[in-house]
Structure 1
Amino acid sequence: MFRDLMLEDIFALQEKGPHTFIDVRSPKEFKEATIPGSINIPVFDDEERAEIGTLYKQVGQEVAKERGLAIFAKKLPNFISAFKNIETPMTVFCWRGGMRSKTAATVLDLMGIHTTRLNGGVRSYRQWVVHELEKEDFSPDFIVLNGNTGTGKTEILKRLADNGYPVIDFENIAGHRGSIFGQIGLEPSNQKKFDSLLIHELERFKTESHVFIEGESRRIGKVSLPQYIYDKKESGMQIVIHLPLAERVKIVLADYEPWNNPERFKEAFQLIERRLHTPIAKLIETYLDNGEFGLAVELLLEHYYDPRYRHSGDKNTDLQKVDIEAKNVEDAFKKILQTIERIKTPSLS
């Protein structure tokens, strides 16, 4: 018979070796929020879940259960087969540790596949995440990469991480680049998903003395940083990167590839159009319509993003700050490494 385990029991099991979490909720629920690293083997797909929910509300619990069993019975061979491919110890869960995970664990047990079930489901995990974030307990100082839009901050963070430095990429876990065009080509996280990914990054680097991040506003797309993380970012050491405008245009084009989503870029631009002088706005719109994205980006940087960055930078005049003048991202990265050497601490070795 399968065992119900509390969240802390499963964390202890994970420390002993590989452990697979299986979310048996529908794909839509899984996409909205789950335990990071989980895989999705749903008892019901989105349409089936909606059908059963409607029956439950409009007809009754027993009819809904019967329909659910009928649907699940037809997909049992594929369901069991998916679990047979998992070679690690495993734990199944649903939202509250209710019927779906109980049904999955029972069937697996009958087929000789050992699994445990998370008591309280993903809701218990969400409660743990909220509790951990409320502790406001993260001691490392931040070294913050700042600079105008298009100065390669995200690429430099990746290079730092590849070289073994502690890095938290807020934009990556938010699924958003932090600008009005920031979600184009990406899949933005909701707050629950962002919090779950964030707490694991904070846990991962909690013993470091410094962690590298990118200078962000508190809100990134659809999500917000915890206030204490934002405050720590604001008081951290600032490395401000300066690149030539032409180089920044190249970086923005490479990051966003506007030719792949021209309509979405046009829609996003219309959200900020009124904040620009009318002749400039009309010129940018013409460039976008004509596919002259480089010229459009250049004007957006000069007349929208750069003035906004100067305004925000004026508020932080008392911070420890290092300016990096560079020709390109490669040059900026080398100079940042040199800067790190000058401020080196044991944890940055």
Structure 2
Amino acid sequence: MRSPLLRKEPWLEIYSEIIDVRSEGEYAEDRIPGAINLPVLNNKERAKIGTIYKQISPFEARKIGASLVAQNIAHHLSSHFADKKEDYCPLIYCWRGGQRSHSLALVLRQIGWQVAVLDGGYQTYRNYVCEQLETLPQQFNYNVLCGLTGTGKTQILQRMLQQGMQVLDLEKLAQHRGSLLGQAWENKLASQPSQKYFESLLLQQLQQCDRQKTIWIESESHKIGRIYLPQGLWEKMKQSPCIEIRLPLEERVTGLLQQYPHFIEHPDILKEKLQRLKPCYGKEKLQQWFEWCDRQQWRRLVEDLLRQHYDPAYQRSLNRLFQPAGQAIDLQDLEEQTINDTIAMLPK
């Protein structure tokens, strides 16, 4: 039978699949990237058992819990596992590698499948993530792409990635574009991942990078939306060389209107977000922005937001946190050929 731990990081081995048997709430907060969720106790059942454990007795809790676990495992057997072949070989984990994971593993082993259980469960994995993120980001060299809001940094990084260059897209991992209006809209206002799951995704991506090649990264703040960057990565970013991208204001406005059409379609949401700037710019300025929204004077609004808020804030942050730009590249537009020409000018 397959050993539960064939190496220090068993989740990096090749299994038929990795199964997280914790509740859907635990799974949503964080999990091993790529793991599927087959709860042996769901959120409500887990809460119920916890209440019985405290208010009645541990024995009653275990008895009722065993019944619920058996029902859930039976459901998984008749659905998820119904078409698995003889060579099926999963890795299973729960919170501590205890009763929940071993309950499912016992049944699957009785069927004849080779099953591995993660010793220490999710906590073993989480400790590993924290340890790795303390040191791994420091083992890479980075080039930081900087530039005012709307200069096309994200588009350039995306094209770099398509061309085979090594890119770490923190905004994509964080599901946020790193500003007041930056919540990702592509997933229908899906919320950002939890801090823990962001770190899991970040570690996964770093482990896929070649340490002999430079990683290209954008000049983010240490906080993207409500997600904080690991300290080791943040310190290395601040020490890394910067390349500044510059673009005429009119082109920046055009590009931003193309990137954020949802605010034009939902001005009430835009006003709600702008409301947060009232302490900085006052009631009169806020009212002016609202009037431009109502009149659909979008170019005027975006240009004023750039001049009044985004550009000064970005410049202060850049001067305070990052190295002076060693190279500046002026773009006339964000057309495909312009971006390709820009990438050709960057250090390799």
Q: TM-score, normalised by structure 2?
A: 0.86
3-state SS, counterpart of residue 139 of structure 2: coil
Contact 2:242-2:323 at 8 Å conserved across structures: no
Residues 13-28 of structure 1 correspond to what in structure 2 (within 5 A)? Answer: 13-14=13-14, 19-28=16-25
Distance in 1 separating the partners of 2:110 and 2:202: 38
Match of 1:275 among 280, 284, 301: 280
Deviations along 1:243-301, one digit per CA (max 9) or x if unpaired, are 23343334334434225654443322211222125433212123345665554333222
Letter in structure 1 aligned against 2:31 = T
**2:53 paired residue number:** 56
SS class of match (1:56): helix
Q: What is the aligned counterpart of 2:317 among 312, 316, 319? A: 312
| Equivalent position to 1:323, from 329, 334, 342 | 329
Task: Choose 172-181 or 226-235, whichever is displaced more.
Answer: 226-235
* Cα distance in 2 between the residues matched to 1:78 and 1:220: 40
Q: Which residue of 2 aligns with 1:336?
A: 342
Deviations 1:76-117 (A, max 9, x none): 443112134567631010111111111111122233343211
* Of 305, 308, 311, the match for 1:303: 308
In structure 2, the CA distance between the partners of 1:266 and 1:86, relative to structure 1 (3 Å rule), is farther
1:145 aligned counterpart, secondary structure: strand
Q: How does 1:142-153 map to 2 (within 5 A)?
A: 142-153=142-153
Aligned to 1:130: 130
Quote the residue 1:36 is aligned against: 33
Contact 1:144 1:215 in 2 (8 A): yes
Segment drifting more, 150-159 vs 88-97: 150-159
Equivalent AA in structure 2 for residue 62 of structure 1: F
Map Cα deviations across residues 185-244 of structure 1 (whole Å, 9 max, x no partner): 243122211222222222222423311111101111222222332222223232222223
Q: Distance in 1 between matches of 2:41 and 2:328?
A: 54
Q: Does 1:139 align with 2:143?
A: no
Aligned equivalent of 2:202: 198
Distance 1:9 1:139 in 2: 19
Native 8 Å contact 1:24 1:92 kept in 2: yes
Q: Which residue of 2 aligns with 1:347?
A: none
Contact 1:22 1:90 in 2 (8 A): yes
2:270 — aligned with what?
Answer: 265
Letter in 2 for 1:296: L
SS in 1 for 2:168: coil
Structure 1 gaps of 5+ residues are 345-349
Give distance in 1, aligned partners of 2:12 and 2:333: 49
- Could you say which residue in structure 1 is the equivalent of 2:228? 224
Give the aligned CA root-mean-square deviation in angstroms. Answer: 2.6
Identity, % of aligned pairs? 34
What is the distance in 1 between the residues matched to 2:326 and 2:103?
Answer: 57
Q: Decide whether the 8 Å contact of 1:138 with 1:206 is kept in 2.
A: no
Which aligned pairs between 1:82-121 and structure 2 lie closer than 5 A?
82-85=80-83, 89-121=89-121
Alpha-carbon separation, structure 2, partners of 1:85 and 1:236: 51
Which whole-Å CA distance do the structure 2 matches of 1:245 and 1:86 have between them? 58
Q: Does 1:247 align with 2:245?
A: no
For residue 183 of structure 1, give the secondary structure of its aligned residue in structure 2.
Answer: coil
The residue type equivalent to 2:40 in the other structure is V
Q: 2: distance between equivalents of 1:99 and 1:200?
A: 28
Seen in structure 2, the aligned counterparts of structure 1 residues 252 and 45 have a Cα distance that, compared at 3 Å, is farther
- C-alpha spacing 1:86/1:265, structure 2 compared with 1 (3 Å): farther
The residue identity in structure 1 corresponding to 2:317 is: S
**1:30 Cα deviation (Å)?**
0.7
Structure 1 distance, partners of 2:70, 2:232, is: 49
What 5-or-longer segments of structure 2 have no aligned partner?
A: none
The partner residue of 1:287 within 279, 289, 292 is: 292
How many equivalent residue pairs? 339
Alpha carbons of structure 1 residues 212 and 12: separation in structure 2 relative to 1, 3 Å? closer
